[in-house]
Amino acid sequence: MKRLIIALALVALMSGNVLAEGTTFGFMGGLNLANVTGDDVEDNEMKLCFGGGVFMNFPMTEVISLQPELLYMMKGMELGTYDDAGARMSYIDIPVLAKFTIPTEGAFAPCFLVGPYIGFNLSAESYFEDQEYDIKDQVKSTDFGLVIGGGFDYAMGKGNLIFDATYALGLTTIDDTADDDDVKNTGIIFMLGYGFNL
């Protein structure tokens, strides 16, 4: 709960106190093709996970806006050498993205997204067939990385239907053991949502 309060406070600070014209608030949810990468990772494969949350979008210019997000994201990986083995983790992620919208005529507007994220680990466990093991004490409490991708907005009703496809690349190891192995979160994320004009 303490981490969630901190996360909400960070989003509020990034958002500012004044809502500019064109500001939107919305919800999003979708799939995360999660994995890990690093020099000490072997036999890993993508794991299908879910995620979602809320976002706000603050226009800076006609084409550039700032989009902080507050997301619950499931992450992890599967071991390719076994049928039912791997790791699963859950995080509160806070990406702060610069959104570059390409001006077009009509309701359809493509965009590019880039920016950093910070993640707060909520749980972590490894599993092998019917056995599960709590490994939260072996995973760092925070994760830092970069998000890059694109998508589109489609004007609909009093807001916009949104679709984003992004790649999240962890920049720091999540291993919190004495070995300090090189293990970083990654994910190919597809999100569908709706933003309401405020």
Q: Is residue 17 part of a domain?
A: no
Q: Where residue 3 falls among pLDDT bands split at 50, 70, 90? A: low
Q: Where residue 21 falls among pLDDT bands split at 50, 70, 90? A: low
Closest Cα to residue 50, out of 35, 26, 29, 67?
29
For the chain, how many structural domains are there in total? 1
| Long-range CB contacts (within 8 A, 24+) of 123-132 | 123/89, 123/90, 124/87, 124/88, 124/89, 124/90, 125/87, 125/88, 125/89, 126/85, 126/86, 126/87, 127/84, 127/85, 127/86, 127/87, 127/88, 128/82, 128/84, 128/85, 129/82, 129/83, 129/84, 129/85
Mean pLDDT of the chain: 90
Q: Is residue 114 part of a domain?
A: yes
CA gap 153, 34 in Å, rounded = 25
Q: Is residue 121 part of a domain?
A: yes
Q: Is residue 110 part of a domain?
A: yes
- 95 and 71 Cβ atoms separated by less than 8 Å: yes
- Per-residue pLDDT at 81: 77
More confident position, 5 or 144 = 144
59: CATH? 2.40.160.20
Q: Give the model confidence (pLDDT) of 24-75 as tens digits.
A: 999 999 999 999 999 988 889 999 999 999 999 999 998 999 999 999 999 9
Q: Is residue 23 part of a domain?
A: no
Q: Is residue 65 part of a domain?
A: yes
Residue 18 has pLDDT above 50, yes or no: no
Q: Is residue 189 part of a domain?
A: yes
Domain coverage including residue 147 = 2-12+31-197
Q: Is residue 47 part of a domain?
A: yes
Mean pLDDT over residues 170-178, rounded? 95
- 120 and 72 Cβ atoms separated by less than 8 Å: no
Instruction: Give the number of other Cβ atoms within 10 Å of residue 50's Cβ.
Output: 12
More confident position, 19 or 116 = 116
CA-derived radius of gyration, the chain: 18
